Amino acid sequence: MLKKISLLCILSAGFFTITAQEKIPFRMTKHNNIIIKTLVNDKDSLDLMFQIAMEDASISPERQRKADHIIFDKDDISKNNTVKIGKLIKKNVLFANNELTGHEADGKIGTGLFAGKAFKIDYDHNEFVSYDQLPDVKGYQAIPLLLQNGQLFIAGDNVIDGKQHEAYFLLQSGYSGGLLYSNEFSDEKDLEKKLKVTGEKTLRNSSGQSVTTKNGVLPFFKLGTLVLKDVSAGFFTGNLKTQRANYFGADVIRRFIWIIDPDRKTAYIKPSQYFSAPYYKLN
């Protein structure tokens, strides 16, 4: 009888190790940004925007709440901070100073929250779930990830003028819109002529150089076997050529539920409640 009880305890312990998880609630803004309520260094209550395109954290110069207990050095870097989110305690968090962030946020926090763990972005329940190991992904589709300098890229197929073009996109949850194309991709595919343009805005710098942001509509975008239709797609024209990467923005990220593996080599996706929602309109 004692042996049976001991075996049951071992099996139960193993089961809970495999399925151990931590839930973190978040709030979605009308601009598609994810806001997490945090307590930094046991003193500063801050609303931080989750930025999947970074690992560490930062504070915005336009913050609404005080961050007096984050001490920055001469290079505007602060190390060894403690961040509490509910029951989760994350130590040795690095903050950068004076980085702009999304609407309604005092700063940003990245994927370092889930270092060494798998994590889910669940837009149906407005929560993150972190796992010690990859959870059951039945019903999800596997998408390869490319990890570069702490940033995650995925490959998607763009249907332009009836032809399919593959491109890599940086997962960028700080950009409220849908797709945003690099200058190289935009020029090469002649998007100004081949996409239906729905709006534009021109800005000039002190030297008189201009950049025009154009909002267009991509007929189809394919991620794995899942297809988004009439996708909001932005690109730039003008003298300034500063957009170096294609962005997979918050408006398209929210259309899926994501599970990211611990090694950041694979994302598992399935449609969320927002899969067919109207697209976000940029101002």
For the domain that residue 241 is a member of, what is the CATH number? 2.40.70.10
Q: What is the C-alpha separation between 230 and 240, in angstroms, rounded?
A: 28
CB atoms within 10 A of CB 240: 16
Q: What is the DSSP code string of 155-181?
A: EEEEEETTEEEEEEEEEETTS-SSEE-
Domain limits for position 101: 21-68+76-131
Q: Evaluate whether 256 touches 124 at the Cβ level (below 8 Å).
A: no
Does residue 98 share a domain with residue 174?
no
DSSP state of 111: G
Does residue 146 share a domain with residue 48?
no
Instruction: Decide if 52 is inside a domain.
Output: yes
Torsion angle, alpha carbons of 234, 53, 120, 136, to 10: 100
Instruction: Decide if 85 is inside a domain.
Output: yes
Instruction: Decide if 1 is inside a domain.
Output: no
Does residue 123 share a domain with residue 149?
no
Q: Evaluate whether 258 touches 269 at the Cβ level (below 8 Å).
A: yes
239: region left, alpha or beta (phi > 0 left; psi from -120 to 50 alpha): alpha
Single-letter residue type at 54? M
pLDDT tens readout for residues 179-210: 999 999 999 999 999 999 999 888 776 667 88
Structurally, the chain folds into a number of domains equal to 2
Instruction: Return the pLDDT at 283.
Output: 66
φ, ψ of residue 120 to 5 degrees: the values are -110, 140
Pick the last residue of a domain from 131, 152, 177.
131
- In this prediction the pTM is 0.91
φ, ψ of residue 240 to 5 degrees: the values are -85, 130
Instruction: Decide if 16 is inside a domain.
Output: no
Instruction: Return the pLDDT at 240.
Output: 81
Instruction: Decide if 4 is inside a domain.
Output: no
Instruction: Decide if 7 is inside a domain.
Output: no
Instruction: Decide if 12 is inside a domain.
Output: no
Q: What is the C-alpha separation between 207 and 121, in angstroms, rounded?
A: 43
Does residue 242 share a domain with residue 145?
yes
Does residue 205 share a domain with residue 116?
no
Q: Evaluate whether 212 touches 201 at the Cβ level (below 8 Å).
A: yes
Instruction: Return the pLDDT at 223.
Output: 98
Instruction: Return the pLDDT at 206.
Output: 62
The SS3 assignment for 217 reads strand
2: region left, alpha or beta (phi > 0 left; psi from -120 to 50 alpha): alpha
Does residue 116 share a domain with residue 153?
no
**Cα angle for residues 272, 232, 240 (degrees, 5° grid):** 130
The Cα-based distances of 205 to 211, 240, 269 in angstroms read 9, 9, 41
pLDDT tens for the chain, 283 residues long, are: 444 444 444 444 443 344 578 999 999 999 999 999 999 999 999 999 999 999 999 999 999 999 999 999 999 999 999 999 988 999 999 999 999 999 999 999 999 999 999 999 999 999 999 999 999 999 999 999 999 999 999 999 999 999 999 999 999 999 999 999 999 999 999 999 999 999 988 877 666 788 889 999 999 999 999 999 999 999 998 888 789 999 999 999 999 999 999 999 999 999 999 999 999 987 6
109: region left, alpha or beta (phi > 0 left; psi from -120 to 50 alpha): beta
Does residue 220 share a domain with residue 200?
yes
